[in-house]
Amino acid sequence: MAGNHVRKLIGLSPDEARALLGAVHGALDSGAGLTPLEASLLEAIGERVLHVDSRGLVPLSATDAAAALTDVDLRRRAVELMVALELTRHPLPPELERSVAAYAAALGVDEPMVHAAREYAERHIAHLYADLQRFTWYTEEVEHSMLHGGFLRIVRSKLAYQGVAADPKIAQKWQALRRCPSGSWGRAVADFYARHHFPFPGEKHGITELGAHHDWVHVLAGYDITPEDELDVFAFIAACSEDPHAFTLLVTTLALFQNGAITHVAGKRVAIACQDALEAPGAAARFADAIARGAACTVDALALDHFAFRDEPLDELRRRFEIPVKAA
């Protein structure tokens, strides 16, 4: 729980917070200045996550950033913010990609998404997607499951997702969530599927069980399924996980709903894929709020054994995991 977590973005001193923001500002300002969206996101992250005023912030050079940020985890978080904000642009300017890569090198962070961003800058979208898949949390989970007797279950779940054949055993496991107590996490997940007319995993065209992990987080964190909500839920996931692979899920989502680099996932077109979701009114503040809520969460919400908590009251779990209420 909380005591086992490496330090996250919350609880930094004002000097650390300003150094982190100054490093991100310096990396993004490669000569032409920040875009209005980048400036809004930095200001919102400063206010809602780090609790400092980023207006009038002095951008740091790569050398100064390395001197100011000495904590390894803080350096990684800084580079993740650089890459996330970098990928709000489309097309991605080559000079910006070079700037972010230089800061990552100065900070000693070998962040796979820095290299993925380079592929995107060169319009090698297929390579970008391959990088995302290679480093994604889901890929690791599939490999782990295959090594521990889950190969056939993964195959059956995938066949159901593609509409080839339903898997009654998997479907029954998920359908049973309807019988969980009212107000429980499991019942709320079942209601989430019913409200959006989603088939359960195991039913024809139902999402794979691995993919469905994030639906539990949608419900736990209180996010819906609009493009803005998808960005928020994966910002929450990236912030509450100490696994660097969780960040790749956020980058995938940015590619789906902000810069338009990806339109298909697992071979299926994403119907709501779009560009510039973060340009919607209030979206930048919501995105920063999602990061703050994820950073405050005391568990890795994506990696939990969700079914073990299915009968637990949802409101009680939110209190237990210290998830703040969404900002108005």
- Cα–Cα distance between 265 and 268 in angstroms, integer? 5
Q: Identify the pLDDT of residue 233.
A: 95
Angle between helices 14-28 and 94-106 in degrees, nearest 10: 140
143, with CB counted inside 10 A (0-12, 13-18, 19+), is exposed
Indicate whether 71 and 160 sit together in one domain. Answer: no
Indicate whether 281 and 315 sit together in one domain. Answer: yes
Q: Identify the pLDDT of residue 167.
A: 85
Q: Identify the pLDDT of residue 127.
A: 44
269 beta partners:
264
- Cα–Cα distance between 74 and 52 in angstroms, integer? 16
Indicate whether 188 and 297 sit together in one domain. Answer: yes
Indicate whether 111 and 225 sit together in one domain. Answer: no
Res. 137 pLDDT band, cuts 50 70 90: very low
Is 308 a domain residue?
yes
Q: With 70 as the cut, is the pLDDT of residue 149 above it? A: no
Res. 92 pLDDT band, cuts 50 70 90: confident
Q: Identify the pLDDT of residue 66.
A: 97
Q: Identify the pLDDT of residue 244.
A: 72
Q: Among the three residues 95, 123, 151, which one is the final residue of a domain in this structure? A: 123
Domain count, the chain: 2
Indicate whether 161 and 240 sit together in one domain. Answer: yes
146-to-131, 134, 177 alpha-carbon distances in Å: 21, 16, 25
Q: How many CB atoms lie within 10 A of CB 276?
A: 15
Helix/strand/coil percentages in the chain, nearest 5: 60, 0, 35
In CATH, what number is assigned to the domain containing residue 71? 1.10.3680
Q: With 90 as the cut, is the pLDDT of residue 229 above it? A: yes
Within 8 A by CB and 6+ apart from 304, the residues are 216
Is 204 a domain residue?
yes
Is 328 a domain residue?
no
Model's pTM, two decimal places? 0.84
Buried b or exposed e, range 52-63, using 16+ CB within 10 angstroms? bebeebebbebe
- Cα–Cα distance between 34 and 56 in angstroms, integer? 13
| 214: enclosing H helix or E strand | helix 209-221
Is 240 a domain residue?
yes
Q: Residues 156-185: what's their mean pLDDT?
A: 79
62-to-17, 30, 50, 123, 193 alpha-carbon distances in Å: 16, 11, 21, 26, 46
Indicate whether 70 and 178 sit together in one domain. Answer: no
Q: Identify the pLDDT of residue 212.
A: 87
pLDDT digits (tens, 9 = 90+) for 1-39: 333 344 467 788 999 999 999 999 999 997 778 999 999
Domain housing 206: 138-320
Indicate whether 109 and 152 sit together in one domain. Answer: no
Indicate whether 309 and 265 sit together in one domain. Answer: yes
Q: Identify the pLDDT of residue 320.
A: 98
Is 72 a domain residue?
yes
- Cα–Cα distance between 297 and 299 in angstroms, integer? 6
Indicate whether 99 and 241 sit together in one domain. Answer: no
| 265: enclosing H helix or E strand | strand 264-265
Is 82 a domain residue?
yes
184 beta partners:
313
Indicate whether 148 and 106 sit together in one domain. Answer: no
Higher-scoring residue by pLDDT: 195, 160 = 195
Q: Among the three residues 97, 123, 149, which one is the final residue of a domain in this structure? A: 123
Q: Among the three residues 71, 91, 123, which one is the final residue of a domain in this structure? A: 123
Indicate whether 269 and 227 sit together in one domain. Answer: yes
Indicate whether 119 and 146 sit together in one domain. Answer: no
Is 128 a domain residue?
no
